[in-house]
Amino acid sequence: MNAPAGDIIDVRGLTKRYGDRVVVDRFDMRVPRGRIYGFLGPNGSGKTTTIRMLCGLLTPDAGEGTCLGHDIRRESHLIKRQVGYMTQKFGLYEDLSIEENLDFIGRIYEIPERKAKVAATLERLGLATRRKQLAGALSGGWKQRLALSACLLHEPRLLLLDEPTAGVDPKARREFWDQLHELCAGGLTVLVSTHYMDEAERCHELAYIAYGRLLAHGSAEQLIASAGLATCEITGAGLTQLARALRADPRIRTVAPFGAALHASAATPEELEAALAAHRGGDIRIEPVAPNLEDIFIALMQEAKDNYSS
């Protein structure tokens, strides 16, 4: 089975069950080479399980497809050697130095000229001056940089990143994403799960997944255009009470605080205006705005059906 030319990932009907619970339900995905593909979804939505099936750590119960041109069922051993997988939890040895950790990874992959490759990777990711520092003494941002270095050491064709910036400060997150875009410009493909909307906006394509099902996919612009949301921003006094009243109105699809304002959305401008009519006046100010990715995310999550079964 061969993937279409240029597609790094091409899977159809991917399904995984644990007992009676379907955690990934007939999932389809195609990811072209040199793109950053973002996974959005709540905890427990099946993102990690999907990533593990793609790289051969889990065998799907149903479905088929290829990753890096190899069958995900029969050739998982070939996929693993060409993938860099960064897990949610820091997975390197905290009692080894940065350099020792990378040297260990180099031995596992039997990298030729390992010492030179480790030294080049340290320079490339800005870790050379800290090479002797113990991994356990690093801050979250530096641990993240070390984990990325370990993923890149064997020159993979695909990076699978599972919430790589959780718990990392905004500056380190921005630097991390700058590095991802540089890597993609060189032909690397990235599949990344995230909860941060600002990170989602930096992906070339996005997939919303909830309770094991793909709800929507496309670029940020495509998702916003196809969402069918009319949205407004509300400022003024008494927003907590107003939010409670709007959530009880069946015409309103989403209500969410954004700083000192509320975003409220409905299916059409007419329904939105009808729902807001009784609340206009006084200290309340209502302005139409374009929906953003978070508005769409909230709307999709509210409409998704929970797959949990006891």
- Of 168, 190, 223, the residue at which a domain comes to its end is 223
Which strand (E) or helix (H) includes residue 88?
A: none
Same domain, 161 and 197: yes
Do the domain assignments include residue 213?
A: yes
Do the domain assignments include residue 232?
A: yes
Same domain, 165 and 257: no
Q: Tell me the C-alpha distance between 52 and 239, whole Å.
A: 43
Number of domains in the chain: 2
Same domain, 215 and 165: yes
Same domain, 123 and 182: yes
Q: Tell me the C-alpha distance between 275 and 250, whole Å.
A: 9
Do the domain assignments include residue 301?
A: no
Q: Is the pLDDT of residue 310 over 80?
A: no
Amino acid identity of residue 88, one-letter, is Q
Same domain, 98 and 235: no
Q: Is the pLDDT of residue 92 over 50?
A: yes
Mean of pLDDT values over 221-246: 91
3-state secondary structure of 273: helix
Q: Tell me the C-alpha distance between 170 and 28, whole Å.
A: 32
- Of 182, 198, 223, the residue at which a domain comes to its end is 223
SS (H, E, C) 21-54: EEEEEEEEEEEECCCEEEEECCCCCCHHHHHHHH
pLDDT value at residue 227:
84
DSSP-assigned states of every residue in 93-132:
-TTSBHHHHHHHHHHHTT-TTHHHHHHHHHHHTT-GGGTT
Question: 169-179, pLDDT tens digit by residue?
Answer: 888 888 889 99
CATH label of the domain that carries residue 261: 3.30.70.260
Question: 115-141, pLDDT tens digit by residue?
Answer: 999 999 999 888 999 999 999 999 888
Give me the residue label for tokens 């139409």. 288
Q: Is the pLDDT of residue 253 over 50?
A: yes
Same domain, 104 and 152: yes
Do the domain assignments include residue 48?
A: yes
Do the domain assignments include residue 205?
A: yes
Neighbours of 98 (CB within 10 A): 28
Same domain, 155 and 83: yes
Mean of pLDDT values over 246-258: 92
Do the domain assignments include residue 253?
A: yes
Same domain, 203 and 242: no
Same domain, 219 and 236: no
Give me the residue label for tokens 């390992």. 114
Give me the residue label for tokens 């279409």. 4
Same domain, 233 and 195: no
Neighbours of 222 (CB within 10 A): 13
pTM as predicted: 0.85
Domain residues for 73? 7-223
CATH label of the domain that carries residue 82: 3.40.50.300
Do the domain assignments include residue 261?
A: yes
Do the domain assignments include residue 296?
A: no
Q: Tell me the C-alpha distance between 53 and 283, whole Å.
A: 53
Same domain, 217 and 241: no
- Of 223, 250, 275, the residue at which a domain comes to its end is 223
Same domain, 139 and 164: yes
Give me the residue label for tokens 């793909």. 214
